[in-house]
Structure 1
Amino acid sequence: MNKKLHLAKEKLIVALDVNTTEAALELVRKLSPRVGMFKVGMQLFYSAGPDVVRRIKEEGVRVFLDLKLHDIPNTVAQAARALAGLGADIINVHAAGGTAMMRAAAGAVRERAAALGLPAPLVISVTVLTSIDQPVFQQELGYSGDIQGKVRAWAILTKEAGLDGVVASPKEIAVIREACGDDFKIITPGIRPAWSVSDDQKRIMTPAEAIDQGASYLVVGRPVTGDADPSAAAQKILSEMAEVL
Protein backbone atom coordinates (compact mmCIF):
# COMPACT_ATOMS: atom_id res chain seq x y z
CA MET A 1 0.00 0.00 0.00
CA ASN A 2 1.51 3.34 -1.05
CA LYS A 3 1.75 6.35 1.27
CA LYS A 4 -1.42 8.07 0.05
CA LEU A 5 -3.49 4.91 0.27
CA HIS A 6 -2.15 4.27 3.77
CA LEU A 7 -3.10 7.80 4.84
CA ALA A 8 -6.56 7.28 3.32
CA LYS A 9 -6.91 4.01 5.25
CA GLU A 10 -6.17 5.80 8.54
CA LYS A 11 -8.97 8.27 7.78
CA LEU A 12 -11.60 5.69 6.80
CA ILE A 13 -14.11 4.48 9.42
CA VAL A 14 -16.56 1.75 8.46
CA ALA A 15 -19.81 1.45 10.41
CA LEU A 16 -20.53 -2.05 11.71
CA ASP A 17 -24.31 -1.84 11.48
CA VAL A 18 -24.91 -5.51 12.24
CA ASN A 19 -26.53 -7.34 15.15
CA THR A 20 -23.97 -9.87 16.37
CA THR A 21 -20.35 -10.00 17.46
CA GLU A 22 -19.71 -12.74 14.91
CA ALA A 23 -21.02 -10.65 12.01
CA ALA A 24 -19.00 -7.65 13.19
CA LEU A 25 -15.78 -9.65 13.48
CA GLU A 26 -16.31 -11.16 10.05
CA LEU A 27 -16.47 -7.67 8.56
CA VAL A 28 -13.48 -6.46 10.58
CA ARG A 29 -11.31 -9.36 9.42
CA LYS A 30 -12.41 -8.90 5.82
CA LEU A 31 -11.93 -5.13 5.77
CA SER A 32 -9.06 -4.39 8.15
CA PRO A 33 -6.41 -4.43 5.38
CA ARG A 34 -8.22 -1.40 3.91
CA VAL A 35 -9.95 0.23 6.90
CA GLY A 36 -8.24 1.95 9.83
CA MET A 37 -11.16 2.20 12.25
CA PHE A 38 -14.57 0.64 12.80
CA LYS A 39 -17.68 2.27 14.24
CA VAL A 40 -19.72 0.48 16.87
CA GLY A 41 -23.07 2.21 17.04
CA MET A 42 -26.29 1.67 18.93
CA GLN A 43 -27.48 -1.29 16.83
CA LEU A 44 -24.42 -3.44 17.47
CA PHE A 45 -23.70 -2.25 21.02
CA TYR A 46 -27.25 -2.82 22.24
CA SER A 47 -27.54 -6.16 20.43
CA ALA A 48 -24.16 -7.68 21.31
CA GLY A 49 -23.24 -5.84 24.51
CA PRO A 50 -20.11 -3.99 25.66
CA ASP A 51 -17.77 -6.93 25.13
CA VAL A 52 -18.06 -6.47 21.37
CA VAL A 53 -15.78 -3.44 21.67
CA ARG A 54 -13.08 -5.50 23.40
CA ARG A 55 -13.41 -8.29 20.83
CA ILE A 56 -12.96 -5.87 17.94
CA LYS A 57 -9.97 -4.22 19.64
CA GLU A 58 -8.35 -7.66 19.92
CA GLU A 59 -8.24 -7.69 16.10
CA GLY A 60 -5.69 -4.84 16.26
CA VAL A 61 -7.95 -2.10 14.89
CA ARG A 62 -9.30 1.15 16.31
CA VAL A 63 -12.90 1.61 17.46
CA PHE A 64 -15.20 4.64 17.34
CA LEU A 65 -17.91 4.03 19.94
CA ASP A 66 -20.86 6.00 18.61
CA LEU A 67 -23.52 6.05 21.33
CA LYS A 68 -24.26 9.81 21.34
CA LEU A 69 -24.57 10.24 25.11
CA HIS A 70 -27.08 12.94 26.07
CA ASP A 71 -28.44 13.43 29.59
CA ILE A 72 -27.71 15.47 32.70
CA PRO A 73 -23.97 16.01 33.35
CA ASN A 74 -23.61 13.46 36.16
CA THR A 75 -25.41 10.70 34.27
CA VAL A 76 -23.35 11.25 31.14
CA ALA A 77 -20.11 11.43 33.14
CA GLN A 78 -20.83 8.08 34.80
CA ALA A 79 -21.76 6.48 31.47
CA ALA A 80 -18.66 7.89 29.80
CA ARG A 81 -16.51 6.64 32.66
CA ALA A 82 -17.85 3.11 32.13
CA LEU A 83 -17.33 3.26 28.38
CA ALA A 84 -13.75 4.51 28.75
CA GLY A 85 -12.83 1.14 30.27
CA LEU A 86 -13.69 -0.70 27.05
CA GLY A 87 -10.65 0.60 25.17
CA ALA A 88 -12.45 2.56 22.46
CA ASP A 89 -10.40 5.17 20.60
CA ILE A 90 -13.24 7.68 20.14
CA ILE A 91 -16.34 8.25 22.31
CA ASN A 92 -19.07 10.77 21.57
CA VAL A 93 -21.75 12.85 23.27
CA HIS A 94 -24.42 15.24 21.97
CA ALA A 95 -23.43 18.91 21.75
CA ALA A 96 -27.05 19.76 22.53
CA GLY A 97 -26.38 18.60 26.10
CA GLY A 98 -24.43 21.79 26.75
CA THR A 99 -21.04 22.79 28.10
CA ALA A 100 -21.34 21.31 31.60
CA MET A 101 -22.37 17.92 30.23
CA MET A 102 -19.57 17.85 27.68
CA ARG A 103 -16.93 18.89 30.22
CA ALA A 104 -18.14 16.25 32.67
CA ALA A 105 -17.92 13.54 30.01
CA ALA A 106 -14.45 14.52 28.85
CA GLY A 107 -13.14 14.72 32.40
CA ALA A 108 -14.58 11.33 33.34
CA VAL A 109 -13.18 9.63 30.23
CA ARG A 110 -9.68 11.01 30.69
CA GLU A 111 -9.62 10.23 34.41
CA ARG A 112 -10.80 6.65 33.89
CA ALA A 113 -8.38 5.98 31.03
CA ALA A 114 -5.46 7.30 33.12
CA ALA A 115 -6.47 5.11 36.07
CA LEU A 116 -6.50 2.05 33.81
CA GLY A 117 -3.26 2.94 32.07
CA LEU A 118 -5.04 3.26 28.73
CA PRO A 119 -4.53 5.97 26.10
CA ALA A 120 -7.25 8.59 26.53
CA PRO A 121 -9.88 8.25 23.80
CA LEU A 122 -10.85 11.27 21.77
CA VAL A 123 -14.09 12.74 23.10
CA ILE A 124 -16.18 14.42 20.45
CA SER A 125 -19.66 15.84 20.14
CA VAL A 126 -22.43 15.18 17.65
CA THR A 127 -23.88 18.31 16.06
CA VAL A 128 -26.82 18.08 13.61
CA LEU A 129 -27.51 14.59 12.26
CA THR A 130 -26.85 14.09 8.56
CA SER A 131 -30.39 12.75 8.07
CA ILE A 132 -31.83 16.20 8.92
CA ASP A 133 -32.42 18.78 6.21
CA GLN A 134 -33.38 22.45 6.53
CA PRO A 135 -37.19 21.98 6.60
CA VAL A 136 -36.96 19.37 9.36
CA PHE A 137 -34.42 21.52 11.24
CA GLN A 138 -36.80 24.48 11.32
CA GLN A 139 -40.33 23.07 11.10
CA GLU A 140 -39.98 19.93 13.24
CA LEU A 141 -37.08 20.71 15.57
CA GLY A 142 -38.03 24.36 15.94
CA TYR A 143 -34.63 25.93 15.34
CA SER A 144 -34.32 29.34 13.69
CA GLY A 145 -31.54 30.15 11.23
CA ASP A 146 -29.74 27.57 9.12
CA ILE A 147 -28.09 24.26 9.91
CA GLN A 148 -24.61 25.51 9.12
CA GLY A 149 -24.87 28.30 11.69
CA LYS A 150 -26.04 25.89 14.40
CA VAL A 151 -23.27 23.41 13.63
CA ARG A 152 -20.66 26.18 13.78
CA ALA A 153 -21.99 27.39 17.14
CA TRP A 154 -22.02 23.88 18.60
CA ALA A 155 -18.49 23.22 17.29
CA ILE A 156 -17.22 26.34 19.05
CA LEU A 157 -19.05 25.30 22.24
CA THR A 158 -17.49 21.85 21.96
CA LYS A 159 -13.99 23.25 21.65
CA GLU A 160 -14.55 25.60 24.59
CA ALA A 161 -15.71 22.61 26.67
CA GLY A 162 -12.35 20.94 26.06
CA LEU A 163 -13.43 18.21 23.67
CA ASP A 164 -11.38 17.04 20.72
CA GLY A 165 -13.77 17.55 17.83
CA VAL A 166 -17.22 17.02 16.35
CA VAL A 167 -19.31 14.80 14.15
CA ALA A 168 -20.84 16.91 11.40
CA SER A 169 -21.95 16.55 7.81
CA PRO A 170 -19.34 17.27 5.14
CA LYS A 171 -21.36 20.35 4.18
CA GLU A 172 -20.19 22.06 7.40
CA ILE A 173 -16.48 21.14 7.30
CA ALA A 174 -15.29 24.48 5.96
CA VAL A 175 -17.07 26.64 8.56
CA ILE A 176 -15.91 24.36 11.40
CA ARG A 177 -12.30 24.52 10.21
CA GLU A 178 -12.50 28.32 10.02
CA ALA A 179 -13.97 28.58 13.52
CA CYS A 180 -12.03 25.86 15.36
CA GLY A 181 -8.68 25.47 13.61
CA ASP A 182 -6.70 22.72 11.95
CA ASP A 183 -6.15 20.54 15.03
CA PHE A 184 -9.88 20.15 15.76
CA LYS A 185 -11.12 16.73 14.63
CA ILE A 186 -14.03 16.59 12.19
CA ILE A 187 -15.67 13.21 11.65
CA THR A 188 -18.03 13.20 8.70
CA PRO A 189 -20.83 10.72 8.09
CA GLY A 190 -23.05 11.36 5.09
CA ILE A 191 -20.34 10.06 2.74
CA ARG A 192 -21.72 8.64 -0.46
CA PRO A 193 -19.49 7.71 -3.41
CA ALA A 194 -20.88 8.71 -6.79
CA TRP A 195 -21.58 5.03 -7.55
CA SER A 196 -23.76 4.48 -4.45
CA VAL A 197 -27.26 5.56 -3.36
CA SER A 198 -27.91 8.21 -0.72
CA ASP A 199 -30.37 6.11 1.39
CA ASP A 200 -31.69 8.27 4.28
CA GLN A 201 -28.75 10.68 4.30
CA LYS A 202 -29.54 14.25 3.22
CA ARG A 203 -26.40 16.44 3.58
CA ILE A 204 -23.88 14.32 1.69
CA MET A 205 -20.61 14.50 -0.25
CA THR A 206 -18.35 12.05 -2.05
CA PRO A 207 -15.25 10.79 -0.21
CA ALA A 208 -12.91 12.93 -2.34
CA GLU A 209 -15.00 16.06 -1.78
CA ALA A 210 -15.05 15.57 2.00
CA ILE A 211 -11.30 14.97 2.22
CA ASP A 212 -10.66 17.98 0.01
CA GLN A 213 -12.79 20.11 2.36
CA GLY A 214 -10.63 19.05 5.33
CA ALA A 215 -12.38 16.12 7.03
CA SER A 216 -10.28 14.28 9.62
CA TYR A 217 -12.18 11.00 9.26
CA LEU A 218 -14.93 9.71 6.97
CA VAL A 219 -17.64 7.34 8.22
CA VAL A 220 -19.01 5.00 5.56
CA GLY A 221 -21.56 2.28 6.19
CA ARG A 222 -23.90 0.82 3.63
CA PRO A 223 -21.85 1.70 0.50
CA VAL A 224 -19.23 -0.73 1.89
CA THR A 225 -21.06 -3.24 4.09
CA GLY A 226 -24.07 -3.47 1.79
CA ASP A 227 -21.96 -4.12 -1.31
CA ALA A 228 -21.67 -7.61 -2.76
CA ASP A 229 -17.89 -7.25 -2.34
CA PRO A 230 -17.24 -5.03 0.71
CA SER A 231 -13.47 -5.25 0.35
CA ALA A 232 -13.56 -4.05 -3.24
CA ALA A 233 -15.96 -1.24 -2.30
CA ALA A 234 -13.59 -0.09 0.48
CA GLN A 235 -10.70 -0.14 -1.97
CA LYS A 236 -12.62 2.05 -4.42
CA ILE A 237 -13.27 4.57 -1.63
CA LEU A 238 -9.60 4.54 -0.60
CA SER A 239 -8.55 5.21 -4.16
CA GLU A 240 -10.94 8.13 -4.42
CA MET A 241 -9.69 9.58 -1.12
CA ALA A 242 -6.05 9.13 -2.12
CA GLU A 243 -6.53 11.23 -5.25
CA VAL A 244 -6.88 14.40 -3.12
CA LEU A 245 -4.43 13.59 -0.31
Structure 2
Amino acid sequence: MTNSQPKHPLMIALDFQTQAEVETFLKQFPHPEQLTVKIGMELFYRYGPAVVKAIQQLGCAIFLDLKLFDIPNTVERALSQLGELGVNYVTIHTLGGATMIQAAKRGLTTGAKRARAAVPHLLGVTELTSISPAGLQNEQNCRLDMTDQVVSLAHLAQQAGCDGVITSALELPALVDQVGVDFEYVVPGIRLQSDAAGDQQRVATPQTARHDGATAIVVGRPINQSPEPGPAYDRYLKAWSKQ
Protein backbone atom coordinates (compact mmCIF):
# COMPACT_ATOMS: atom_id res chain seq x y z
CA MET A 1 0.00 0.00 0.00
CA THR A 2 1.09 3.60 -0.47
CA ASN A 3 1.96 6.03 2.29
CA SER A 4 -1.03 7.76 3.81
CA GLN A 5 -1.64 11.13 2.20
CA PRO A 6 -1.78 14.33 4.25
CA LYS A 7 -5.17 15.99 3.94
CA HIS A 8 -3.71 19.29 2.71
CA PRO A 9 -0.11 18.57 1.65
CA LEU A 10 2.61 21.06 0.90
CA MET A 11 4.52 19.32 -1.90
CA ILE A 12 8.22 20.06 -2.34
CA ALA A 13 9.42 19.93 -5.95
CA LEU A 14 12.62 17.88 -6.15
CA ASP A 15 14.08 19.83 -9.05
CA PHE A 16 17.55 18.30 -8.93
CA GLN A 17 19.72 16.68 -11.59
CA THR A 18 20.95 13.70 -9.55
CA GLN A 19 19.64 11.27 -7.00
CA ALA A 20 22.59 12.10 -4.75
CA GLU A 21 21.47 15.73 -4.65
CA VAL A 22 17.96 14.62 -3.73
CA GLU A 23 19.19 12.43 -0.91
CA THR A 24 21.46 15.19 0.42
CA PHE A 25 18.52 17.59 0.34
CA LEU A 26 16.08 15.26 2.09
CA LYS A 27 18.57 14.34 4.81
CA GLN A 28 18.40 17.96 5.98
CA PHE A 29 14.87 17.29 7.23
CA PRO A 30 14.60 15.52 10.61
CA HIS A 31 11.37 13.78 9.62
CA PRO A 32 11.30 13.11 5.86
CA GLU A 33 8.42 10.68 6.43
CA GLN A 34 6.25 13.75 7.04
CA LEU A 35 7.03 15.21 3.61
CA THR A 36 5.21 15.01 0.30
CA VAL A 37 7.66 15.46 -2.58
CA LYS A 38 7.26 15.91 -6.32
CA ILE A 39 9.35 13.85 -8.73
CA GLY A 40 9.30 15.33 -12.21
CA MET A 41 10.56 14.43 -15.64
CA GLU A 42 14.19 15.38 -15.00
CA LEU A 43 14.76 12.80 -12.27
CA PHE A 44 12.44 10.11 -13.60
CA TYR A 45 13.87 10.17 -17.11
CA ARG A 46 17.35 9.71 -15.69
CA TYR A 47 16.71 7.09 -13.02
CA GLY A 48 13.26 5.66 -13.68
CA PRO A 49 11.43 3.77 -10.92
CA ALA A 50 14.66 3.40 -8.91
CA VAL A 51 14.52 7.01 -7.74
CA VAL A 52 10.91 6.54 -6.65
CA LYS A 53 11.83 3.49 -4.58
CA ALA A 54 14.81 5.26 -3.00
CA ILE A 55 12.66 8.18 -1.86
CA GLN A 56 9.89 5.86 -0.67
CA GLN A 57 12.42 4.21 1.61
CA LEU A 58 12.72 7.54 3.43
CA GLY A 59 8.97 7.47 4.03
CA CYS A 60 8.00 10.39 1.79
CA ALA A 61 4.64 10.53 0.03
CA ILE A 62 5.26 10.95 -3.69
CA PHE A 63 3.66 13.09 -6.37
CA LEU A 64 4.93 11.69 -9.69
CA ASP A 65 4.51 14.55 -12.13
CA LEU A 66 5.10 13.22 -15.66
CA LYS A 67 2.13 14.93 -17.40
CA LEU A 68 1.31 12.09 -19.79
CA PHE A 69 -0.24 13.18 -23.08
CA ASP A 70 -0.64 10.67 -25.92
CA ILE A 71 -3.18 8.45 -27.63
CA PRO A 72 -5.43 6.60 -25.14
CA ASN A 73 -3.93 3.14 -25.60
CA THR A 74 -0.40 4.38 -24.99
CA VAL A 75 -1.44 6.36 -21.93
CA GLU A 76 -3.38 3.42 -20.50
CA ARG A 77 -0.41 1.09 -20.83
CA ALA A 78 1.98 3.67 -19.36
CA LEU A 79 -0.29 4.38 -16.39
CA SER A 80 -0.61 0.66 -15.78
CA GLN A 81 3.15 0.63 -15.20
CA LEU A 82 3.10 3.72 -12.99
CA GLY A 83 0.21 2.33 -10.97
CA GLU A 84 2.49 -0.44 -9.71
CA LEU A 85 4.95 1.99 -8.10
CA GLY A 86 2.96 2.79 -4.96
CA VAL A 87 3.08 6.55 -5.49
CA ASN A 88 0.37 8.85 -4.20
CA TYR A 89 -0.36 11.14 -7.16
CA VAL A 90 0.25 11.08 -10.93
CA THR A 91 -0.49 13.63 -13.66
CA ILE A 92 -1.84 13.66 -17.19
CA HIS A 93 -2.74 16.50 -19.55
CA THR A 94 -6.49 17.15 -19.69
CA LEU A 95 -6.06 18.44 -23.25
CA GLY A 96 -5.76 14.78 -24.24
CA GLY A 97 -9.54 14.55 -23.98
CA ALA A 98 -12.09 12.41 -22.18
CA THR A 99 -11.19 9.11 -23.85
CA MET A 100 -7.53 9.52 -22.91
CA ILE A 101 -8.40 10.46 -19.32
CA GLN A 102 -10.67 7.44 -18.96
CA ALA A 103 -7.93 5.21 -20.36
CA ALA A 104 -5.46 6.70 -17.88
CA LYS A 105 -7.78 5.88 -14.98
CA ARG A 106 -8.22 2.31 -16.19
CA GLY A 107 -4.49 1.81 -16.55
CA LEU A 108 -3.73 3.32 -13.16
CA THR A 109 -6.33 1.13 -11.48
CA THR A 110 -5.10 -2.00 -13.24
CA GLY A 111 -1.49 -1.39 -12.27
CA ALA A 112 -2.29 -0.62 -8.64
CA LYS A 113 -4.45 -3.74 -8.37
CA ARG A 114 -1.66 -5.86 -9.85
CA ALA A 115 0.75 -4.52 -7.23
CA ARG A 116 -1.85 -4.69 -4.44
CA ALA A 117 -1.34 -0.97 -3.87
CA ALA A 118 -3.76 1.88 -3.35
CA VAL A 119 -4.75 3.59 -6.59
CA PRO A 120 -2.84 6.88 -6.90
CA HIS A 121 -4.83 10.07 -7.24
CA LEU A 122 -5.12 11.03 -10.91
CA LEU A 123 -4.59 14.75 -11.44
CA GLY A 124 -5.22 16.55 -14.72
CA VAL A 125 -3.01 19.43 -15.81
CA THR A 126 -5.14 22.33 -17.05
CA GLU A 127 -2.98 25.23 -18.25
CA LEU A 128 0.63 25.46 -17.10
CA THR A 129 1.37 28.32 -14.72
CA SER A 130 4.04 29.50 -17.17
CA ILE A 131 1.32 30.22 -19.76
CA SER A 132 0.14 33.83 -19.80
CA PRO A 133 -3.30 34.93 -21.04
CA ALA A 134 -1.60 36.36 -24.13
CA GLY A 135 0.09 33.01 -24.79
CA LEU A 136 -3.21 31.20 -24.41
CA GLN A 137 -4.83 33.39 -27.06
CA ASN A 138 -1.95 34.03 -29.46
CA GLU A 139 -0.04 30.74 -29.29
CA GLN A 140 -2.69 28.17 -28.40
CA ASN A 141 -5.33 30.07 -30.37
CA CYS A 142 -7.85 29.43 -27.61
CA ARG A 143 -11.15 31.28 -27.97
CA LEU A 144 -11.78 31.20 -24.19
CA ASP A 145 -10.14 33.44 -21.63
CA MET A 146 -7.85 31.77 -19.08
CA THR A 147 -10.44 31.26 -16.36
CA ASP A 148 -13.06 29.79 -18.68
CA GLN A 149 -10.47 27.52 -20.29
CA VAL A 150 -9.30 26.15 -16.94
CA VAL A 151 -12.87 25.64 -15.71
CA SER A 152 -13.77 23.85 -18.94
CA LEU A 153 -10.80 21.51 -18.65
CA ALA A 154 -11.54 20.86 -14.98
CA HIS A 155 -15.13 19.88 -15.80
CA LEU A 156 -13.80 17.52 -18.45
CA ALA A 157 -11.30 16.01 -16.01
CA GLN A 158 -13.91 15.53 -13.30
CA GLN A 159 -16.43 13.88 -15.64
CA ALA A 160 -13.79 11.56 -17.13
CA GLY A 161 -12.51 10.24 -13.80
CA CYS A 162 -9.75 12.49 -12.48
CA ASP A 163 -9.53 13.05 -8.74
CA GLY A 164 -8.46 16.64 -9.22
CA VAL A 165 -6.58 19.11 -11.36
CA ILE A 166 -3.40 21.14 -11.38
CA THR A 167 -4.29 24.82 -11.61
CA SER A 168 -2.96 28.24 -10.80
CA ALA A 169 -4.41 29.92 -7.73
CA LEU A 170 -5.90 32.67 -9.86
CA GLU A 171 -8.56 30.32 -11.23
CA LEU A 172 -9.45 28.77 -7.86
CA PRO A 173 -12.51 30.90 -7.02
CA ALA A 174 -14.14 30.07 -10.35
CA LEU A 175 -13.24 26.38 -10.02
CA VAL A 176 -14.69 26.07 -6.53
CA ASP A 177 -17.83 27.90 -7.64
CA GLN A 178 -18.40 26.05 -10.90
CA VAL A 179 -16.75 22.63 -10.42
CA GLY A 180 -17.29 22.25 -6.68
CA VAL A 181 -15.41 21.51 -3.48
CA ASP A 182 -15.51 17.72 -3.82
CA PHE A 183 -12.47 17.78 -6.09
CA GLU A 184 -8.74 18.27 -5.56
CA TYR A 185 -7.05 21.52 -6.59
CA VAL A 186 -3.26 21.27 -6.58
CA VAL A 187 -1.61 24.64 -7.06
CA PRO A 188 1.98 25.28 -8.22
CA GLY A 189 3.43 28.75 -8.68
CA ILE A 190 3.33 29.44 -4.94
CA ARG A 191 5.53 32.19 -3.53
CA LEU A 192 5.70 34.15 -0.31
CA GLN A 193 5.60 37.88 -0.96
CA SER A 194 9.31 38.07 -0.16
CA ASP A 195 10.27 35.53 -2.87
CA ALA A 196 10.84 36.06 -6.60
CA ALA A 197 8.28 34.68 -9.05
CA GLY A 198 10.94 33.36 -11.46
CA ASP A 199 9.41 32.05 -14.72
CA GLN A 200 5.96 31.60 -13.20
CA GLN A 201 3.34 33.92 -14.69
CA ARG A 202 0.36 33.22 -12.42
CA VAL A 203 1.52 33.10 -8.80
CA ALA A 204 -0.07 33.41 -5.36
CA THR A 205 0.89 33.20 -1.71
CA PRO A 206 0.12 30.05 0.33
CA GLN A 207 -2.44 31.99 2.37
CA THR A 208 -4.32 33.14 -0.73
CA ALA A 209 -4.30 29.66 -2.25
CA ARG A 210 -5.67 28.08 0.94
CA HIS A 211 -8.33 30.76 1.35
CA ASP A 212 -9.50 30.35 -2.24
CA GLY A 213 -9.87 26.57 -2.07
CA ALA A 214 -6.55 24.86 -2.86
CA THR A 215 -6.27 21.37 -1.41
CA ALA A 216 -2.50 21.14 -1.97
CA ILE A 217 0.32 23.43 -3.06
CA VAL A 218 3.64 22.80 -4.79
CA VAL A 219 6.74 24.82 -3.85
CA GLY A 220 10.04 24.47 -5.68
CA ARG A 221 12.94 26.90 -5.75
CA PRO A 222 12.13 28.87 -2.57
CA ILE A 223 12.70 25.60 -0.66
CA ASN A 224 14.90 23.37 -2.80
CA GLN A 225 17.38 26.17 -3.60
CA SER A 226 17.38 27.67 -0.12
CA PRO A 227 20.63 27.45 1.88
CA GLU A 228 18.39 26.43 4.79
CA PRO A 229 15.62 24.29 3.29
CA GLY A 230 14.20 23.16 6.63
CA PRO A 231 13.40 26.66 7.90
CA ALA A 232 12.21 27.67 4.41
CA TYR A 233 9.80 24.73 4.38
CA ASP A 234 8.58 25.63 7.85
CA ARG A 235 7.83 29.21 6.74
CA TYR A 236 5.77 27.99 3.82
CA LEU A 237 4.04 25.34 5.90
CA LYS A 238 3.11 27.91 8.55
CA ALA A 239 1.66 30.22 5.91
CA TRP A 240 -0.15 27.33 4.19
CA SER A 241 -1.62 26.04 7.46
CA LYS A 242 -3.22 29.33 8.44
CA GLN A 243 -7.00 29.21 8.25
Pairing of 1:125-144 with structure 2 (within 5 A): 125-144=124-143
* CA positional deviation for 1:238: 1.2
Q: Secondary structure in 1 aligned to 2:70?
A: coil
Which amino acid counterpart does residue 12 of structure 1 have in structure 2? Answer: L
* CA positional deviation for 1:9: 9.0
* CA positional deviation for 1:151: 0.4
Q: 1:11 — aligned with what? A: 9
Structure 1 residue ranges, 4+ long, deviating more than 3 angstroms after superposition: 7-10, 31-35
Distance 2:90 2:26 in 1: 19
Distance 1:238 1:230 in 2: 12
Comparing 123-132 with 168-177, greater Cα deviation is found at: 168-177
- What is the root-mean-square deviation in Å for CA atoms of aligned residues? 1.7
* CA positional deviation for 1:89: 0.5
Distance 1:10 1:177 in 2: 16
Unaligned segments of structure 1, at least 5 residues: 1-6
Q: 1:22 — aligned with what? A: 20
Distance 1:115 1:26 in 2: 33
Residues 58-83 of structure 1 show CA distances to partners (whole Å, capped at 9, x for unaligned) of: 11110000000000000011111111
Residues 102-138 of structure 1 show CA distances to partners (whole Å, capped at 9, x for unaligned) of: 0000111012111211011001100000001111111
* CA positional deviation for 1:239: 1.4
Residues 38-74 of structure 1 show CA distances to partners (whole Å, capped at 9, x for unaligned) of: 0000111112222101111111110000000000000
Residues 79-98 of structure 1 show CA distances to partners (whole Å, capped at 9, x for unaligned) of: 11111111111011000000
Residues 40 and 143 of structure 1, relative CA distance in 2, 3 Å threshold: same
Which amino acid counterpart does residue 134 of structure 1 have in structure 2? Answer: P
Identity value in percent: 35
Unaligned segments of structure 2, at least 5 residues: none
Q: Secondary structure in 1 aligned to 2:234?
A: helix
* CA positional deviation for 1:195: 1.3
* CA positional deviation for 1:180: 2.3
Distance 2:233 2:14 in 1: 13
What is the TM-score normalised by the length of structure 2?
A: 0.93
Which amino acid counterpart does residue 167 of structure 1 have in structure 2? Answer: I
* Equivalent pair of 2:84/2:114 in contact (CA under 8 Å): no
Which amino acid counterpart does residue 14 of structure 1 have in structure 2? Answer: I
Residues 175-220 of structure 1 show CA distances to partners (whole Å, capped at 9, x for unaligned) of: 1112222220110001011111000001010011101111010000
What is the TM-score normalised by the length of structure 1?
A: 0.93
* Equivalent pair of 2:172/2:213 in contact (CA under 8 Å): yes
Distance 2:126 2:227 in 1: 32
Q: How many residue pairs align between the two structures? A: 238
Distance 1:149 1:120 in 2: 30
Distance 2:188 2:206 in 1: 10
Distance 1:233 1:213 in 2: 23
Comparing 64-73 with 172-181, greater Cα deviation is found at: 172-181
Q: Aligned pair 1:104/2:103, yes or no?
A: yes
Distance 1:211 1:136 in 2: 27
Q: 1:160 — aligned with what? A: 159
Pairing of 1:162-201 with structure 2 (within 5 A): 162-201=161-200
Q: Secondary structure in 2 aligned to 1:118?
A: coil
Distance 2:93 2:223 in 1: 26
